[in-house]
Amino acid sequence: MRLLLALGDPISRTILGRFAGRRGHDVSSADSGREALELCRSSSAFDCVVCGTRLRDMSGAELCGRIRELPREGLAFYPYLLVVCGQDEIPCGRDAVRAGADGILWEPLGPESLEIGFIAAERVSAVYGKAAQAGGDRGLRDG
């Protein structure tokens, strides 16, 4: 799975990147929302984007909304969006889901919660990939 980590904290990016890499995921990273958007614009192959609630230049909710607004051809670009939230950030998590996030990863993050998020991302990516190959994008567009 192609994974983009858009987290402002370099330690979190490193830890999550190593975890995902050890599980065979192809990991890219960004330290700002602007950089994450640029990577998404230049590559439609991210299966999953994991972002924090607060990046250097925008909120996680804003990043999710802006990713969902990017133009797509067929179903080649539907990244599963996961937002990392602290237990005290429930409103931020709710805003992110309303803006387009598919799920929340609650801190403190553990291997099990990360694996659960990645399993869901892989499942959705597989469904969209099969639909795109079959040319059947009706009914599967996000919305």
What residues make up the domain containing 35?
2-134
Taking alpha carbons only, the member of 54, 49, 18 closest to residue 36 is 49
Task: Give the pLDDT confidence score for residue 132 in this predicted structure.
Answer: 65
Task: Give the pLDDT confidence score for residue 108 in this predicted structure.
Answer: 87
- Could you tell me if residue 129 is inside a domain? yes
Taking alpha carbons only, the member of 70, 28, 35, 31 closest to residue 54 is 31
Give per-residue pLDDT as tens, 17-65: 999 999 999 999 999 999 999 999 886 678 999 999 999 999 999 999 9
- Could you tell me if residue 114 is inside a domain? yes
- Could you tell me if residue 140 is inside a domain? no
pLDDT band with cut points at 50, 70 and 90 for residue 143: very low
- Could you tell me if residue 42 is inside a domain? yes
Residue found by looking up tokens 């133009």 in the block = 71
Task: Give the pLDDT confidence score for residue 71 in this predicted structure.
Answer: 79
Do the bridges between strand 2-6 and strand 26-30 make them parallel or antiparallel, or are there none, so unpaired? Answer: parallel
CATH number at residue 58: 3.40.50.2300
- Could you tell me if residue 36 is inside a domain? yes
Bigger pLDDT: 131 or 83? 83
- Could you tell me if residue 104 is inside a domain? yes
Our count of domains for the chain comes to: 1
Task: Give the pLDDT confidence score for residue 142 in this predicted structure.
Answer: 46
Task: Give the pLDDT confidence score for residue 10 in this predicted structure.
Answer: 92
